[in-house]
Amino acid sequence: MSESAIITTNNVNLWYHEKQALQSVSIKIPRNRVTALIGPSGCGKSTLLRCFNRLNDLIDHVKCTGEITLDDENIYAPSTDVVTLRKKVGMVFQKPNPFPKSIYENVAYGPRVHGIRDKAELDRIVEQSLRHAAIWDEVKERLNDSALGLSGGQQQRLCIARTLAVEPEVILMDEPCSALDPIATAKIENLIERLKEDYTVIIVTHNMQQAARVSDYTGFMYLGRLIECGKTGQIFEHPKEELTENYITGRFG
């Protein structure tokens, strides 16, 4: 890949207890592009994604070796501040997880914890993020209602807005549409399309068409290994590896 990489992993291995979940994964994530990770269930996609913001740290007995750099800084170095890292690398989860607070408070939460107190400034950020996440028109009348009253698709876009409000550089999305209907999915896909102007997006998906539609690059994983990674068109039309071809054409297992 000729484009400049924002995240680079080098020989990453990861174990849960004794069980190895990632095996010497080396991948370059290009800046301001959408990269899709595909592969069968349990192959380690979520695990890899959660390495990028060190959310795996929350789980006991996780061991990780190798090197992961963000903007050429090793994120597993002892000097790395995870809080700053997570500010730069936002995440949208598979199941929408808004806080049990109002819509406004959900979006304002990030800026607040990072020290913004000014009400006008917060208002501006909240509106901008909600607009950016294409949900503003649906919620602007009821910003003070509980976020738990929104539909699943709206909740997911709210979670995206919540992530955007922190202005990260990278957004990780772990099967963001798996709990949504086709209409909500289409909305989120459009959104991803627009996000790459300002952000780098890494998306995990089980939906082959979705990967083909939204991503510029695709990585295929299998049993903890990264089998192949390249331009989406190339991966889908002329995969180099047989495994990839089998998976993409549905001839698997």
Partner 1 sequence: MKFTKKTDGVFTASKGTARLSVLKEQSVKTVFFFAAFFAVIVVSFILLFLLRDGYPIFVQVGLPNFLLGPDWAPTAVVPLYGIFPLIVGTLLVTIGAMVFAVPLSIGCAIYLSELASPRTKKCLKPAVELLAGIPSVVYGFFGLIVLTDFIRVSFDIPTGETWLAASLLLGVMALPTIISVSEDAISSVPHEYKEGSLAIGATRWQTISRVLVPAALSGIAAAVILGIGRVVGETMAVLMVAGNAAITPDPIWNILSPLRTLTATLGIEMGEVSVGSEHYSALFGIAVILLIITLIINLSAVAILRHLKEGRTKGPAPKLLVSSATKESLARFFEVIGIAVLLVFLLAAAPWWLAAFVLLIPGAWYFGRDRLSQKHIQTIAFCLVGLATVIVLAILVIILQDIVVHGLPALSWEFLTQPPKDLGRAGGIFPAIIGTLYLVMGAIAIALPLGMGAAIYLVEYTREGRITRLIRTSVDLLNGTPSIVFGLFGFAFIVLYLNVGVSLLAGQVTLALMVLPTMIRTTEESLKNIPQSLREGSLALGATQWQTISRVVIPPAVPGIVTGAILSIGRAAGETAPIMFTAVIFSSRFLPDSVFQPVMALPYHLFILATNVPGSSTNKYGTALVLLLLVIGFYSVAIFVRTHFQNKARG
Ligand X SMILES: Nc1ncnc2c1ncn2[C@@H]1O[C@H](COP(=O)(O)OP(=O)(O)OP(=O)(O)O)[C@@H](O)[C@H]1O
Chain contacts with Mg ion (rule: CB under 5 A): 46
Do residues 27 and 17 touch, judged by C-beta distance below 8 A?
no
Binding segment (CB under 6 A) for ligand X, from list 38-46, 121-129, 149-157, 186-194:
38-46
Q: Which does 21 bind (CB under 5 to 8 A by kind): ligand X, Mg ion, partner 1, none?
A: ligand X
Q: Which does 58 bind (CB under 5 to 8 A by kind): ligand X, Mg ion, partner 1, none?
A: partner 1
35: nearest Cα among 7, 10, 12, 54: 7
Identify the residue among 2, 4, 41, 79 touching ligand X (CB under 6 A). 41
What is the spatial distance between Cα 127 and Cα 142, in angstroms, rounded to a whole number? 12
Q: Which residues between 56 and 85 bind ligand X (CB under 6 A)?
A: 59
Degrees to nearest 5, angle at CA 197 with 219 and 38: 15
What is the spatial distance between Cα 68 and Cα 170, in angstroms, rounded to a whole number? 14
- With binding defined as CB under 6 A, does residue 210 bind ligand X? no
- With binding defined as CB under 6 A, does residue 53 bind ligand X? no
Q: Identify the H or E element spanning 30.
A: strand 19-30
- With binding defined as CB under 8 A, does residue 97 bind partner 1? yes
- With binding defined as CB under 8 A, does residue 95 bind partner 1? yes
Identify the residue among 113, 152, 198, 233 touching partner 1 (CB under 8 A). 113
154: nearest Cα among 128, 127, 183: 183
